Amino acid sequence: MIRMTAFRGLIAALIVVFAALATAAPARAAAPNIAKVNIRKIAETHPIFVQWVQDTDVMRKERQSKIDENIKKEFNLADDFKVEDLTQEQQNMIQQYLYMENQRFIEEMEPIREQKLVEVENDIIAKVETVAKAKGYDLVLDSSVVLLGGADITDAVIAAIKGQ
């Protein structure tokens, strides 16, 4: 009988000790609520980026048309000329001219491209923050660095961008 009473007393004492430790121990931080997004997919569907690609294609076609006209004029070529009809020297000169025009186009477009990318990036970051906050996520990672887990909020971010 004494043993049982001592055992019950020991159990009661342990319960009190565990309860005291539980309330005295610092509260553990909850695991972060993590989400992931596919930044590449978001950027490729972003209206600013889509418009930029369309505008660039139009400009490239217009420029190519002017280049073709300049080549025909410079070498006195018919509209239906064939590359095989050109001398090696003419082909080399045309190739050099095309290279220089391509470089010029790239140099002209680079500052505009950089500006568009910054606009797209800033808008994506703002929308990711908005969606993450609304859904209660503490951390959002690009899906390219996530192997497993994390809720995918890519479509919600795209919807937020298109909803502007």
Whole-number Cα distances in Å, 100 to 10, 33, 97, 121: 90, 52, 5, 31
* pLDDT (0 to 100) of residue 30: 62
What is the rounded CA–CA span in Å between residue 137 and residue 126?
A: 14
Q: Report whether pLDDT(21) > 80.
A: no
Domain-wise residue ranges, the chain: 2-162
What is the rounded CA–CA span in Å between residue 112 and residue 136?
A: 36
What is the rounded CA–CA span in Å between residue 94 and residue 71?
A: 7
* pLDDT (0 to 100) of residue 61: 93
Domain 2-162 class, CATH top level: alpha beta
* pLDDT (0 to 100) of residue 110: 93
Note the pLDDT tens digit of each residue in 64-122: 999 989 888 888 888 888 888 788 998 899 999 999 999 999 999 999 999 999 999 99
- More reliable by pLDDT, 12 or 90: 90
Note the pLDDT tens digit of each residue in 40-79: 999 999 999 999 999 999 999 999 999 989 888 888 888 8
When pLDDT is cut at 50, 70 and 90, the band that residue 22 belongs to is: very low
- The answer to whether 35 touches 151, Cβ cutoff 8 Å, is yes
When pLDDT is cut at 50, 70 and 90, the band that residue 29 belongs to is: low
- The answer to whether 47 touches 129, Cβ cutoff 8 Å, is no
Q: Which of 1-5, 59-63, 123-127 has the lowest mean pLDDT?
A: 1-5
Of 122, 127, 132, 121, which is closest to residue 43 (Cα–Cα)?
121
Q: Report whether pLDDT(133) > 50.
A: yes
Q: What angle do CA 105, 106, 108 make, to 5 degrees?
A: 65
What is the rounded CA–CA span in Å between residue 151 and residue 137?
A: 9
* pLDDT (0 to 100) of residue 164: 66
* pLDDT (0 to 100) of residue 153: 96
* pLDDT (0 to 100) of residue 26: 52
